[in-house]
């Protein structure tokens, strides 16, 4: 039987962001901690990288700060 290329095998094992969010929601219910604040730092880092990679997006954020509020809330610095 033929095997999938290695890259596809690894990708199949990685959970999507939606799956991880569902896991956190289930954990909150299971532990009875609905007020638990969960911060997906990987999403914030990806956003920072996107702002660094696409200067126009960063300029739009500078002109309209409410568009991407999680950058300021995270306390993380913009990539230079």
- pLDDT tens across 21-70, in order? 678 888 888 888 888 787 778 888 998 899 899 999 888 888 886 656 65
Tell me: pLDDT of 12 over 70: no
Nearest residue to 49 (alpha-carbon basis) of 68, 31, 21, 73: 68
pTM confidence score: 0.44
φ/ψ of 71, rounded to 5, equals -65, -50
Tell me: pLDDT of 75 over 60: no
Distance CA 25, CA 33 (A): 10
């Amino acid at each position: 039987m033929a095997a999938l290329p290695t890259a596809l095998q690894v990708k199949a094992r990685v959970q999507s962001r939606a799956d991880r969010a569902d896991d956190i929601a289930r954990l909150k219910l299971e532990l009875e901690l609905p007020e638990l604040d969960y911060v997906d730092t990987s999403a914030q880092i990806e956003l920072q990288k996107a702002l660094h990679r696409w200067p126009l997006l960063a300029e739009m954020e500078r002109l309209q700060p409410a568009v991407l509020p999680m950058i300021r809330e995270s306390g993380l610095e913009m990539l230079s």
